[in-house]
Amino acid sequence: MREVLDRPVPTAAADLTLRRGAARVLITNWTGTSTVPSRTLYPHQWSWDSAFIAIGLRHLSVRRAQRELESLLAGQWADGRIPHIVFNPDLPYGAYFPSPDFWQSSRAGRNAGAPETAETSGIVQPPVHALAAWLVHRADTAESRRREFLTRLYPQLAAWHRYLMTRRDLAGAGLAAVVHPWEPGMDNSPCWDGPLSRITPAAPDTFHRADLNHGHPADRPTDLDYGRYVHLAADYRSAGYDDAVPHQFAVEDPCFNALLIVSELALARIADQVGADPGLHEARAADLTRTLVARLWDEDTGLFLARDLVDDRLIPELSVAGLIPLLVPDLPEPVVERLIQTLDGPHFHTKSTALVPSYDLDGHAFDSTRYWRGPAWFNTAWLIERGLRAHGRDTRADRLRDAILTTAGTSQFAEYVDPTTGTGRGTRDFSWTAALTLDLLCADDKEPPL
């Protein structure tokens, strides 16, 4: 990697220092086949982390970025799902919980097509993968074609999307649903408090939280929340990871579905490159966009809201997830304008850092330090920055980009930060923070958002 880092780049000295720091994180966290989010807190391979990491790695090594996605897809199930964790078999079970012996994927997931040669979790994470694959391809199209990168990945990515749009369309209304709070990636968001209140937590003596070995309890989900997560995951495992059984937790999340739309559009670009039909994916993206607006848009709050499918109601909590649909290129212009007003309004505007909190600053459950209950995250900021550019708001996007880069550097590439002070929280040297920093530093300003 030394020659990559020493290659001249057209950037200021401070940006070059930040670039080198970001590259160092990605090199340190590389395992030989993939990148761990954190050497301590998250020592395995995570699904949407790897997608974001590949987007940054493309600026260091296209081959390594390709490998990041290929290694994740090696854990794909026959039903199409990409599991949210692919476990490193060389690590002891105690390195992370829930560990492979909890998920029992190769046994409990046999009927759903879990791989026999890799242990994984049984749940999923947001579908950023086709977008990542397209951006990695575009970073070096000659190398991508030489290795038939898109040709090999297209069938797997298409199967992944089919799984989400069929087996996970739990309401039959045209959107993908999540069945566990870990699936939308915003684990302990206040959006899930209502649905989770129906869940009896697992007894505390039935599991041990390895996350508290490396994370401060004030930053992490509470024991009560964790007990509910464990109960839900155990029930899903007991049902053989069958999506057709009734779910106590079933939610249509706006961020998850917005990323599915954008990845369908990316899959259309990929299909065009490999000789498949792009029109199928473009039509799906259009249908998903219409349904997203019809089912999840709330004009009163100026935000997309999650829908609880158990009682078929919108969840009245304001989350950064509701801003992510800015990524969708064909949103109605009035919706775009309203979203930007919300972004710059009192619920999400932080004057001191210019970052975007994960939850309503004025909300009853706001907590500036506890995981997804208020802290600002770099991946959601990157998605919003890209969404602003998709709708021609480059000046606003530039302000957010500058805030991301400044805070990533001062926080030592923190997992997330206090949105009011910029103080780093969670683990440091976090891979997607470094990767997306690198992407913002190195990506061509003229590069289209998709």
Give the SS3 label for residue 427.
Answer: coil
Instruction: Tell which residue, 201, 52, 189, has the closest CA to residue 133.
Output: 52
List of E strands, 18-159: 45-46, 85-86
Catalytic residue among 49, 415, 418, 439: 415
How far from 223 is each of 206, 211, 218, 230, 235, CA to CA, in Å? 12, 11, 11, 10, 18
| Amino acid making up residue 408 | A
How many CA atoms lie less than 13 Å away from 334 in the CB half-sphere? 4
Residues 397 and 389: beta-carbon distance below 8 Å:
yes
Catalytic residue among 187, 317, 418, 429: 187
List of E strands, 51-164: 85-86
Whose structure tokens read 């000659």?
142
Instruction: Tell which residue, 381, 442, 443, 385, has the closest CA to residue 416.
Output: 381
Six-digit token pair at 183?
């699936």
DSSP codes of every residue in 187-253: TT-GGGHHHHTTSPPPPGGG---GGGGTS-TTTSPPHHHHHHHHHHHHHHHHTTT-TTS--SS-EE-
Whose structure tokens read 């600053």?
361
| 415 part of the active site | yes
| 252 part of the active site | no
Distance CA 409, CA 213 (A): 25
> Strands 297-298 and 303-304: what pairing?
antiparallel
How many CA atoms lie less than 13 Å away from 293 in the CB half-sphere? 17
DSSP codes of every residue in 301-339: TTEE--EETTTTEE----BGGGTGGGG-TT--HHHHHHH
Residues assigned a catalytic role? 187, 415
